[in-house]
Amino acid sequence: MSTDVESRRRRSTESSEPLWDHDPKGRRCSSQCDRLCVAGAYLEIPDTPSPCTSQYFGHYTPKCLSAHRHSLHSRCTDDVWQEASIRTTIRADNEVEAHKLANNYRFGFRKWKSHVTERPIEDRSDVVKELYSDLNYIKHHSGSLVTVGNVIYVLLFGWWISLFYFLVSLLMFCTIAGIPYGKLCVQLSGYFLWPFGKALQKVSEKSCRLSTYVWLVLGYPLLAVVHFLAIFLSWMLVFTIPVSKMNVRTLSIILLMPPEEVIIRTVKKVILLCCYRAFNWYYYKFTVDGINVFAVNLLPLVIITLVIGYMDKDNYYVSSEAKFATAVSSIIPLSYYIGMGIASISAQSNFAVGAVVNATFGSITEMAFYITALLQGHRAGNKCYAEIVKSALTGTLLGCILFVPGICMIIGGCKHREQRFNSRSAGVSSALLFISIGGVFAPTLFSKAYGNFICEGCNNLPGNTTNPFLCNNCHYDLSENNRPLFLSHIEPLVYTISVLLPAAYLIGLIFTLKTHSHIYDIHTSDAHCHGADHGAVVHWSRSRAVVVLILATVMMAACADLSTEHIKPIISNSSVSQYFIGVTVLAMVPELPEIVNGIQFALQNNISLSLEVGSCIAVQVCMLQIPLLILFNAFYDVGFVLIFSDLHLWASIFSVILVNYIFMDGKSDYFQGTALVVVYLILLALYFFAPAPLGC
């Protein structure tokens, strides 16, 4: 370290407390350098945040934007970055939220981005406040109201809602007694054609009682159908939720008021409804009781899947292909609910309970599909199902090792240019990945070393003495067909590995959570408002989270059963290799919520958690899911043998070596992410053009 850096380091100890807390054994960067790093990494955080702010701050110190790269190199060298043991300081609204954030850094815990406690709306940004507004207030609006979203509103909703109001107004005029409501419908017809910048106001006048009865019998029911349809369509599109709110408020308040009390004019009096834009792209953040709106909207798909799957057994109304598509798609929201339940329970419990919950329910999504597929193949006497399960296992490994960190590096790198992560903590997951891959594929390597090389369909022309035989489908006898080798050597090896892998996982938990927890060095700051920890309102209590976990698990098993039941026409008639179906659709669809979490962490310059998302899943696949499948097969023989094809073997080994090479320097950018994604796509191309596996 240069002399000037040393002097600044000494001076920093006499100045104000640095924003980052380092391990005493590591070297300390200067206070000025620390402030530059924090300012670069957290542009949304004020320069001098008040200690009494209700918004939490997570100081994830291993990262620093390379936008300040040159200034940082003049103040603190790369050696300091690599050698210093950096403390992760977590600042949260309350103890429950702080516990959830700390769990994200612990080995064996699935990473969860969403909040598990309610956040006061008054402490949120103006963008978020607008998402949860009731459209009954006036805000300062600068700019034109003629936007692309508002024009799309007219094309999708405005014209037919306006038309129905006009038709209902004619009906009200014909009743004579309903003329006041007919006039109101004429006004609302023009309003809903272009409601932006206009306000529905309330005035104090009396109404006619007879016209109210006529309206409630003839007019209101018709418009209720129109508004319910508009509410449903606009809510399902998510980004048009303001249109849904506008229709809800009209149906529940405005149409039940006397017509004389509702006027449309410029803003002066009490506001009933005021909307400026129909589209808002930030509605992807919108939550209902802590549940993301996309997960809420996909929940009816689960019900539809179960109804058509178990009611239409003979595929009379819906084809098997459509049932398979809906069953696989239903896994996405159920995976989200399971993840939310796990995070809620872990945040409200000690780390031991959290580790058990993550180890059990964290793999329930994949295990439900694997077991139902193996049972389906066993009942049908088709070994192709076991090969599809192996393809899905390998696809999950490849996706979590290559695609998940790769896409996070690309998206995070485009925003932050260069991101840093704690290479030492990442090394724990990397070491376990090496152990996992070695253990999982050890029986395959053993079979290749000692198995019989056999060929099928060998032909020899009569009188041929010099030319070689023409053989097809040459391969090692890697299954139980070679009974002496399998029973005496391979099967005991498989059972031994199924014991060693969970033991290594348990040792990893003890290592990172107890004996060597300083590797992560998670510190919960006390710099929050007095009383901020009191009165924290969780979205899901522990009892509610347990109920949701159980219900989601049952529905997950049902959807997995339907997907495996209706996959047969796809694997039988499709021109695409069964390998490809397993490593893509069946492997990655259940992991979509995890991929979204990883991307959100990367956008917040927290690439460490983005990388841990994929590593955590990959380690659980090898050290928990595969041993559980072996245990299940030992008690109920469904033909699952832990011997993989050559393509699975070499693709997995190459991927682990590549990702560990890229992670060595503790830095990431979009180029490294592109390399991982390109390799992943190359491997997918290999699977796409690969011949069908044996038994398919």
**pLDDT digit string, tens, across residues 420-442:** 877 776 777 777 888 889 889 99
pLDDT of residue 44: 36
pLDDT digits (tens, 9 = 90+) for 150-185: 999 999 999 999 999 999 999 999 988 889 899 999
How confident is the model at residue 522, as a pLDDT? 64
Is it the case that residue 59 has pLDDT exceeding 80?
no
Which of 201-215, 269-283, 470-484 has the least mean pLDDT? Answer: 470-484
Among 81-85, 201-205, 220-224, which is the least confidently predicted range? Answer: 81-85
Q: What is the pLDDT of residues 124-145, one digit of tens each?
A: 877 888 888 877 767 766 678 8
Enumerate the β-bridge partners of residue 459.
Answer: 470
Percent of the chain with pLDDT over 70: 75
pLDDT of residue 510: 82
Band of the pLDDT at 521, cuts 50, 70, 90? Answer: low
**Which pLDDT band holds residue 606 (cuts at 50, 70, 90)?**
confident
* Ranges of H-type helices in 206-350: 209-214, 220-236, 241-252, 293-311, 320-347
**pLDDT over 60 (residue 67):** no
Q: What is the DSSP string of 386-451?
A: HHHHHHHHHHHHHIIIIIHHHHHHHHHHHHHSEEE--HHHHHHHHHHHHHHHHHHTHHHHHHHHHS
Q: 674 pLDDT band (50/70/90 cuts)? A: very high
Residue 56 CB: number of other CB atoms within 10 A?
18
Sign, Cα dihedral of 519, 336, 344, 601: positive
Q: Which residues pair with 86 in a beta bridge?
A: 22
The topology (CATH level 3) of 284-689 is A middle domain of Talin 1 (1.20.1420)
In 3D space, the residue among 177, 174, 180 whose CA is nearest the CA of residue 207 turns out to be 180
pLDDT for 628 equals 92
How far apart (Å, rounded) are the C-alpha atoms in residues 108 and 360? 11
